[in-house]
Chain A
Amino acid sequence: AQSVTQPDIHITVSEGASLELRCNYSYGATPYLFWYVQSPGQGLQLLLKYFSGDTLVQGIKGFEAEFKRSQSSFNLRKPSVHWSDAAEYFCAVGMEYGNKLVFGAGTILRVKS
């Protein structure tokens, strides 16, 4: 069955430091991968997505992610974190049929000043 693993429940980084959030997926076919962010009391906002082509994907707010098929990973990165990046981040894989998303458990990012 398709699944997404985000091994880190919580991560704390200092403002200005770099960030990497891990995501591993299990999916038999070509994966369609997404990163969403959820701020408190808000819905999910798409940061970036990977369908095919260049394995390094650029997103909004200075985020990027790299698809590594050999490692079944799609880690999210940002070179310099801002206090406003504090939120919960979800990795998801899109099913080929019906486009429904399977989400990871999420990683809560805390930014300390």
Chain B
Amino acid sequence: GAGVSQSPSNKVTEKGKDVELRCDPISGHTALYWYRQSLGQGLEFLIYFQGNSAPDKSGLPSDRFSAERTGGSVSTLTIQRTQQEDSAVYLCASSSGSYQETQYFGPGTRLLVL
């Protein structure tokens, strides 16, 4: 595809359930980022993958959040035991991995926890 794609575009879940959000980066991009956009916190960094290096998880808000990247391409962000405060838009971005290269963002997944 031409750009970063994310699925689902919208997700409604009940408090306490687990959710998985998917990101397909631009083909050939080695760096992948997850950000969260919420009313109270604005846009905040969650996690960063670069090639085969250990991911930078410094932005994950709690141990209920985890992410993996399989085969250096697709990434899944998992939120366990969702809480209402997890409601937000989750944005994925990818870049070529070169130093300070532009990050290209997907359309996001809008998560609503009831």
Q: Do A and B come from one complex?
A: yes
Q: Which A residues fall within an 8 A CB radius of B?
A: 32, 36, 41-46, 49, 51, 90, 92, 94, 98-106
User: B76-114: which have CB < 8 Å to A?
Assistant: 91, 93, 95, 99-108
B65 within 8 A of A: no
Given that A90-B43, A103-B43 are known contacts, is A98 also in contact with B107, CB under 8 Å in the complex? no
Please list 30 pairs of residues, one from A and one from B, whose beta carbons are closer than 8 Å in the complex, sorted by A's number. Answer: A36-B105, A41-B107, A43-B4, A43-B105, A43-B107, A43-B108, A44-B91, A44-B105, A46-B102, A46-B103, A46-B104, A49-B102, A51-B100, A90-B43, A99-B33, A99-B99, A99-B100, A99-B101, A99-B103, A100-B33, A100-B45, A100-B48, A100-B56, A100-B59, A101-B33, A101-B35, A101-B45, A101-B103, A103-B44, A106-B43
Residue on A nearest B98 in the bound complex, by CB: A99
A89-B104 Cα distance, complex, nearest whole Å: 15
Inter-chain contact A43/B91, CB cutoff 8 Å: yes
**A41 partner residues in chain B, CB cutoff 8 A:** 107
- Binding site secondary structure of chain B: strand
| Chain A hits for B100, CB < 8 A | 32, 51, 94, 99
**How many angstroms from the CA of A32 to the CA of B56 in the assembled complex?**
19
Closest 4 CB pairs of A and B: A103-B43, A43-B105, A44-B105, A100-B45
Q: Which residues of chain B are near A106, meaning CB under 8 Å?
A: 42-43
- Beyond A90-B43, A98-B50, A98-B56, 9 additional contacts (C-beta under 8 Å) are A45-B105, A46-B104, A51-B100, A99-B100, A100-B59, A101-B35, A101-B43, A103-B43, A105-B42
Contact in complex: A43, B50 (CB < 8 Å)? no
**B31 is an interface residue with CB less than 8 A from chain A:** yes
Which residues of chain A have C-beta atoms less than 8 A from B103's C-beta?
Answer: 46, 99, 101
B103 to chain A, nearest CB (A): 7
Q: Complex Cα distance A21/B50, Å?
A: 33
Closest Cβ–Cβ distance, residue A62 to chain B (whole Å): 19
Once bound together, how far apart are the Cα atoms of A102 and B95, in whole Å?
16
Name the B residues within 8 Å of A104 (CB-CB): 42
1/0 per residue, CB under 8 A from A, across B17-36: the answer is 00000000000000101010
